[in-house]
Structure 1
Amino acid sequence: MPGKSWTVASAARFAREARMSTVAHLQTAPIARQLRQHKLTRAYAIHRANTGSREAAMDLLFGGLGYKRPYPADWAEAAELLTSDEARCLAAAELYVLTPQMCDVVIAAAQGLTRDDLQLLAEDDLPSPTGLLVLPHPVLVRSVGGDLGDVRALCWHPGQFNVPDPLAADGVRGLPGVRIAVFHDTSGPVRPDSFLELVAEARREGTPLPPLLLDAVRCLEFQTQRATDPHEVERLASAAQAVDGAYRKSAEMMGQDEGRLLGEYASGSEIDDADDSFAWRFLYAFWRLCEQRIAGVEQAETNHAARVIGQRAGLSPDVRVIRLRQRDERAAGEPVGRNWQHRWVVRMHKVRQWYPSEQRHKVIYRGPYIKGPDGKPLLGGETVRALVR
């Protein structure tokens, strides 16, 4: 993406300020509730189209967010509940920022994961109980429903997936897990007319949109024993495509342009989220890379002004910077004095490693590491992503 060069100081400052503004917006802005109501009714429509049952759709929607019956009485109450909860979780989250190189590696690792790999996720995979991971730039993702989004941050905190169970005392079985929220970049390149109208309305109401715009919220179970049903995934994808396609068609009939993008963009360069799991896979890859120490963690410098502002807002100013560890991996017989002009990421691949002491499998990545001299340009982006099979 074009723009200023990435630095630790600027990334840490953006993460602090973006989190602070977004928390305040979620806490108070009516338009944040209006947007959440729209997102909830869309998600309900997809579940209803998939299941054909109102009751089943409500269970999948609200149970999947960790809520129990009785569910909110109406969509306005549901939007208030979810928006307020996410504001509290965002305020409590520990801040992480990715370097551009590490972001490329996480994307590559995520694209090598499957839904079956996600079933290995356990609570001790998380580097902290809560977290907000801020990316160095928007990552363009084509949703299962066909819409293009610019993902800029992901937040996680404890949650559970509630499923109906007639044998349970309260009729619900809670499955421990993690609740994940996806945030889009308000200043990102995806600029459909519906979004521009939202921006204008927020300004008229005196509550301009914050840097991070809350999009999807869902729970992911820990070590689920439920096998992935490819037919169910396909049915859900078809329902999403039908619902989102109808929204786009309606907008087009009213003369709206829902495909506008600003800046440099090449068709096909976005990530295709065909099974609606990219956010889960991205975070799981990030967590696994952190545990394997492929990722190096350092604390960003916190100046006096950042501490004062954080104290006034009741938010921690601490930011952890996640880098790709540099390794000296000179191949046998490689000329010592060779004048390399670039750095590059050496191929990585995943394996499912059995841990006898824990009696479970974990995803392990062999590699990656960077070759080439410090200070030289990194051959990354699509080149890195193509290294994963």
Structure 2
Amino acid sequence: MIEISAKEVPEIRARMADWARDPGLDGAGNWFRFFLGPHPPGASDSYVFDRVDDVAATIAGTLAVQLPASELFYVSSAMTELARHAASSLPDYRLHPEDLPSPVGFMVYAQPPVPGTASGPHDDVCIVSWGPGRGGVWVHTWAPTSMSPAQRGVVQIGRNLAKADHHDALQRARAAAARNLPTPSPDNKSATSEEAADLWGAHLLTTWLPNLERAQIPPSFCPPHGFEWCALTPMEFMEMEGWPDGVSDNQSSVAAESKIALQRTIVATWLLMGQTLVHSERVHAPRAARRRIESLDPAMGTAVRYIDLRRSRTEPSDHSTDDREKSGREYHHSWIVSGHWRNQYYPNRNENRPIWIDWHRAGPDDKPLIGGERVNVLRR
């Protein structure tokens, strides 16, 4: 897994924005057309796209506008852990535009927020970008390009085909499909390594035939900025009972439960970022990186909001000593209250909004703690 620091975020965003605006074969437009297509399976069933929409072109065009304009955020490891934990008990909730930390954003987690949610050849999702879209807000997830031995072989084959004449590559794919060979599996092992390579090569060419018929192979095959687009999830400003599957480059390999867990973790992160238990400070890209960013787009910002937990923990006001005295109760022990969500009424919305109550010690400070003292170890 690639580790990303906060100071690297502006240059990563700049490279991704440059890719999104590139009209050439290695740009986002051709990448989405080759891998996703104008009408990917399932997209026409979403309320976001009509059957006449060119989904690939729409996604590429939206990213070209939103990535350069996005506000940058970096979520620390401690904050990521809290968001992951809080998401597991997040109640269904009506998402509001003001719940977003910014209308257009680019957020990098110090570690994957929900390990194991990325699809196909990707590592775990660690980047989330968002902005206005039809139906509410469009949330894109990204993962570092996987370079496992198997993936390296696939990428190399793709890059070699990209160097060939497109017509020739298309003819080779059609010839491979005409052979009607079985899909490689442990049940149909080839006698020799050469036969196995031939079977795998024919299988890949057959798989890519629809892609080759609609677009040329991107020369880099994987996006040149080093991160794979994993999915688009449209989040409505509505009751949060899970969201549509959205559009993914490999829908079948991602479990619905994992996707919902990731989506809820993203929403939990946004909600937590608006609370006092979170500390935010500005971090800037190094001078050399700022120069490289300026060469791509002089107007692009280089400041990142570093999101972390505050060091001090205070007992919530709804468990104050005054309240206990007013209740007339006498406690003979103190105890630990686990972290939990509590609905807070907001008059300007005329409805409740969940706020996170962090773990705290309740009861008289001079009384023994049930279960003994609690020890917390924070590993960085």
Q: Does 1:79 align with 2:56?
A: yes
The answer on whether the counterparts of 2:106 and 2:129 sit within 8 Å (CA) in structure 1 is yes
How far 1:97 moved relative to its partner? 0.6
Task: Determine if the alignment matches structure 1 residue 30 to structure 2 residue 28.
Answer: no
Choose the corresponding residue for 2:350, options 359, 375, 380: 359
Which residue, out of 219, 223, 228, partners 2:234? 219
Between the aligned partners of 2:296 and 2:232, the Cα distance in structure 1 is 24
Q: Structure 1 275/136 Cα, relative in aligned 2: closer, same or farther at 3 Å?
A: closer
Q: Residue deviations 1:175-212, cap 9 Å, x none?
A: xx11100011125xx84835752366358625763232
The CA deviation at 1:319 is 0.8
> Shift in Å at residue 95 of structure 1?
0.8
Residues 156 and 178, structure 1, Cα contact 8 Å, conserved in 2 = yes
Match of 1:180 in 2: 139
Instruction: Report the residue type matching 1:244 in the other structure.
Output: S
CA distance in 2, matches of 1:280, 1:133: 13
Matches within 5 A, 1:127-166: 127-139=101-113, 141-143=115-117, 149-161=123-135
Q: Distance in 2 between matches of 1:294 and 1:192?
A: 43
1:311 pairs with 2:294: yes
**What code does the residue aligned with 2:229 have?**
L
Could you say which residue in structure 2 is the equivalent of 1:324?
Answer: 309
Distance 1:182 1:214 in 2: 6
Is the strand fraction higher in 1 or 2? 1
State the Cα distance separating 1:146 from its structure 2 match: 9.1
Q: Which residue of 1 aligns with 2:77?
A: 100
Correspondence for 1:244 among 252, 256, 264: 252
- TM-score normalised according to structure 2 size: 0.62
- Residue type at the aligned position of 1:87: A
Instruction: Say whether the 8 Å CA contact 2:338–2:359 is kept in structure 1.
Output: yes
TM-score if structure 1 supplies the norm length? 0.60
Post-superposition CA distance 1:59-85 (Å, at most 9, x none): 51xx42xx567423xxxxx32332232
SS at match of 1:354: strand
Superposition pairs for residues 186-335 of structure 1, below 5 Å?
A: 186=145, 191=148, 193=150, 197-198=154-155, 201=158, 205=219, 209-224=224-239, 228=241, 244=252, 274=257, 276-314=259-297, 315-329=300-314
Distance 1:192 1:360 in 2: 52
Aligned with 2:134: secondary structure? Answer: strand
Matches within 5 A, 1:331-346: none
Q: Using the alignment, how far apart are the partners of 1:312 and 1:139 within structure 2?
A: 32
Residues 1:346 and 1:306: Cα distance change in structure 2 (over 3 Å):
farther
How far has the Cα of 1:285 moved from its partner?
A: 0.8
C-alpha RMSD of the superposition: 4.3
Contact 1:300–1:318 (CA under 8 A) maintained in structure 2: yes
Identity of aligned residues (%): 23
Q: Which of structures 1 and 2 has the bigger CA Rg?
A: 2
CA distance in 1, matches of 2:121, 2:291: 40
Are the structure 2 counterparts of residues 359 and 195 from structure 1 closer, same or farther at C-alpha, using a change threshold of 3 Å? farther
1:378 aligned onto 2:372? no
* Secondary structure of 2:301 counterpart: coil
Given residue 364 of structure 1, which amino acid in structure 2 is its aligned partner?
Answer: I
Give the partner amino acid of 2:279. Answer: G
